[in-house]
């Protein structure tokens, strides 16, 4: 590889992130070769699937300048609702559909509070999260709900005996979301709204309508993650996955999704998901206390936010220089 090729790789955030992921995996493999055993890789795939699915909805909101901090509670609420419906005798397919519809209602409520009432989404979604947590604990008495339905256990099975079904669902969703972002007008509008909401309105777009769709989408995707988790565990828990939202946010921003809006894609988000989860699996393999994994995830989020902030500042400076140069050139104004 020549010098120019190396420079291109280092300038590409996605390529650099992928390189870091490979280095992390190689380092942990050097410490313990069992790190890349089939069982270990399959376990990592299972664990990353839930936060990965949640990261997709969060990433779409970030791209368009929105935020929803109720994703983790929506995830657990989805598992609890689906578990209760199945336990009551409703076929699991109808239970899943009803749960996703409930997720849509929660997303619409988030959008209403943030966009129509005018509450800060940062605060209003935390309030919704608290409400959902209370309902979860109330209807379950803070106990897991067993789901003794063998046909609903697809979340614990593997495709072709190799790939966990939840991981396959995550990959399929990433492909669909990447297509929407890159190949559809709605996806392009998401970037416009996230880049400059005032310019989006002047160009004839309706930012509130786009963000409403994305709030609904995020809640539906989060409840889907809860359904997948309940299927995998064959039980619905009101208390598990407490760090899933933070991990999903970290993975999205680590993968290049702009926290300030207007940038990022799902392929980068996938790399962020892989890096975060293989790194966490490596720490678990070292038999460190669980709080070290939490500390490491927090530090990764801080680093990702710092890079995102610096990229945003650099983009603003570049735009300012370009605008100044055009204004100074007499021929440009004509």
Domain ranges of the chain: 40-240
| Cβ neighbours, 10 Å, residue 178 | 18
CATH code assigned to 40-240: 1.10.3470.10
Alpha-carbon gap, residue 288 to 284, rounded angstroms? 6
Reference 205, options 219, 179, 185; nearest CA is 185
DSSP classification of residue 115:
I
pLDDT at 91 over 90: yes
pLDDT for the residue numbered 259: 81
User: What is the per-residue burial (b if ≥16 Cβ within 10 Å, else e) of 36-70?
Assistant: eeeebbbebbbbbbbbbbbbbbbbbbbbbbbbbbb
Give the confidence band of 329 by pLDDT, cuts at 50, 70, 90: low
Model confidence over 211-249: pLDDT tens digits? Answer: 999 999 999 999 999 999 999 999 988 887 667 888 898
For the CA atoms of the chain, what is the radius of gyration? 21
**In sequence order, which residues have a C-beta less than 8 Å from that of residue 267 and are 6 or more positions away?**
14, 174, 178
pTM to 2 decimal places: 0.87
Model confidence over 37-85: pLDDT tens digits? Answer: 888 899 899 989 999 999 999 999 999 999 999 999 999 999 999 999 9
pLDDT at 202 over 50: yes
More confidently predicted of 302 and 210: 210
pLDDT at 153 over 80: yes
The pLDDT > 90 percentage for the chain reads: 49
Alpha-carbon gap, residue 61 to 214, rounded angstroms? 6
Reference 247, options 299, 289, 209; nearest CA is 299
Q: Given the structure tokens 């490491």, which residue do they identify? A: 296
**Span 263-280, average pLDDT:** 89
């Amino acid at each position: 590889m020549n010098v120019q090729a190396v420079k291109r790789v280092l300038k590409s955030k996605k390529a650099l992130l992928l390189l870091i992921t490979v280095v992390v995996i190689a380092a942990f493999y050097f410490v313990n070769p069992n790190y890349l055993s089939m069982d270990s890789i399959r376990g990592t795939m299972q664990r990353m699937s839930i936060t990965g699915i949640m990261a997709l909805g969060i990433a779409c909101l970030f791209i368009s300048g929105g935020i929803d901090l109720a994703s983790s509670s929506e995830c657990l609420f989805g598992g609890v609702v689906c578990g209760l419906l199945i336990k009551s005798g409703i076929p699991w397919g109808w239970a899943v559909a009803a749960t996703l519809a409930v997720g849509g209602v929660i997303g619409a409520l988030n959008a209403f509070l943030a966009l129509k009432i005018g509450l800060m989404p940062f605060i209003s979604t935390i309030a919704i999260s608290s409400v959902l947590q209370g309902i979860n604990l109330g209807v379950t008495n803070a106990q897991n709900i067993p789901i003794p339905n063998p046909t609903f256990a697809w979340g614990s099975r593997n495709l072709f005996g190799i790939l966990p079904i939840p991981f396959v669902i995550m990959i399929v969703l990433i492909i669909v979301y990447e297509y929407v972002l890159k190949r559809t007008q709605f996806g392009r509008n998401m970037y416009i709204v996230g880049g400059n909401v005032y310019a989006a309105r002047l160009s004839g777009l309706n930012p509130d309508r786009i963000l409403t769709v994305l709030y609904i989408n995020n809640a539906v995707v989060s409840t889907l993650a809860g359904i997948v988790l309940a299927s995998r565990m064959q039980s619905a828990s009101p208390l598990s996955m407490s760090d899933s939202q933070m991990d999903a946010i970290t993975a999205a921003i680590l993968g290049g999704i702009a926290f300030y809006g207007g940038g990022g894609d799902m392929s980068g988000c996938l790399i962020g998901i892989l890096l975060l989860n293989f790194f966490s699996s490596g720490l678990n393999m070292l038999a460190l206390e669980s709080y070290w994994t939490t500390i490491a995830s927090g530090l990764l989020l801080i680093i990702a936010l710092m890079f995102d902030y610096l990229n945003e500042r650099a983009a603003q400076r570049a735009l300012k220089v370009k605008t100044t140069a055009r204004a100074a050139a007499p021929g440009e104004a004509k």
